[in-house]
């Protein structure tokens, strides 16, 4: 059970229509259930004085992240489309960090990666957290085995005390989910 103080940030990963809505372009099964669960956690975080920060997958029309340009994913979260909007029922009260904006993969909320050159870059998330003296993060959102996974991995790698609320996530690939969680546990991520 996550406890919140002013030194903690709740990171709400990619709770966007394309992932959370059953009609979305890259719907993650059970994604809509994450919206209400995330809202409860957001309220708790706010009561504890924690920062709530959101990530948003935000791709250009053409990117090697998509199948039709050599990537692995169907078209999703294209900038300015409804699918890219945060879910309409999600309580949004904090900064929104966009990723993948220049065509990079951008799985983690902290970093982006060019799928062709492998070149890595940073988002503004780490700066937002450091500026507020945050040393602990709690992570929820979509998808558990993709962007939540990469965000948790980066967070623990950057030295944040990192907790993942497994019930407030859903995986794209349920068969691989446990292995992915074990990987995080081995890295020192607290799973609850």
- List, by residue number, the catalytic residues: 14, 99, 147
Task: Specify the stretch interacting with ligand VGL by CB under 6 A; choose among 36-44, 86-94, 127-135, 142-150.
Answer: 142-150
Q: Please select the residue that binds ligand VGL; options are 146, 152, 156, 165, rule is CB under 6 A.
A: 146
Which distant-in-sequence residues (6+ apart) come within 8 Å of 3 by Cβ?
Answer: 48
Min CB(99)–ligand VGL separation in Å: 9
If the CB atoms of residues 57 and 154 are measured against Zn ion, the closer one turns out to be 57
Dist CA 152 CA 62 (whole Å): 27
Q: Which of 18, 21, 41, 57 binds Zn ion (CB under 5 A)?
A: 57
Q: Which of 73, 83, 162, 168 binds ligand VGL (CB under 6 A)?
A: 73
Cis peptide bond upstream of 142, omega within 30: no
Interface residue with ligand VGL among 112, 134, 139, 142 (CB under 6 A) is: 142
Does position 145 interact with Zn ion (CB under 5 A)? The reply is no
Q: Nearest distance from residue 59's CB to Zn ion, in Å?
A: 6
Instruction: Count the residues of the shown chain that bind Zn ion, applying the rule CB under 5 A.
Output: 1
Distances (CA, A) of 76 to 17, 22, 28, 87, 175: 9, 13, 12, 14, 22
Q: Please list the residues that pair with 141 across neighbouring strands.
A: 13, 169
**Residue 147 touches which member of ligand VGL, Zn ion, none, C-beta under 5-8 Å by kind:** ligand VGL
* CB closer to ligand VGL out of 9 and 20: 20
Residue 152 parent element (H or E): helix 147-157
Query: Measured on CA atoms in the order 80, 172, 88, 24, is the torsion positive or negative?
Result: positive
Residues 96 and 147: their CA atoms lie apart, in Å, by 15
Our CB check for ligand VGL shows the closer of 143 and 181 to be: 143
54, 97 contact by CB (below 8 A): yes
Residue in this structure with the two tokens 């209400």, named with its chain if needed: 36
Asked if 110 touches ligand VGL (CB under 6 A), the answer is no
Distance CA 54, CA 125 (A): 9
Interface residues toward ligand VGL, by CB under 6 A:
14, 19, 57, 73, 142-143, 146-147
Interface residues toward Zn ion, by CB under 5 A:
57
């Amino acid at each position: 059970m996550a406890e919140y103080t002013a030194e903690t940030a709740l990171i709400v990963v990619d709770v966007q229509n394309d992932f959370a809505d059953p009609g979305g372009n890259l719907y993650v099964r059970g994604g809509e259930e994450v919206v209400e669960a995330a809202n409860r956690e957001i309220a708790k975080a706010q009561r504890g004085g924690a920062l709530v920060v959101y990530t948003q997958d935000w791709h250009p029309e053409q990117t090697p992240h998509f199948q039709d340009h050599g990537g692995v994913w169907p078209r999703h979260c294209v900038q300015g489309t409804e699918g890219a909007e945060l879910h309409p029922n999600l309580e949004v009260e904090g900064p929104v960090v966009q990723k993948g904006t220049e065509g990079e993969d951008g799985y983690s909320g902290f970093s982006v990666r060019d799928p062709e050159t492998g070149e890595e870059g940073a988002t503004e998330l780490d700066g937002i957290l450091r500026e507020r003296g945050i040393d602990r993060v709690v992570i929820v959102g979509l998808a558990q085995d993709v962007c939540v996974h990469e965000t948790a991995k980066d967070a623990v790698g950057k030295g944040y005390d990192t907790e993942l609320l497994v019930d407030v996530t859903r995986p794209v690939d349920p068969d691989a989910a446990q292995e992915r969680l074990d990987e995080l546990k081995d890295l020192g991520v607290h799973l609850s």
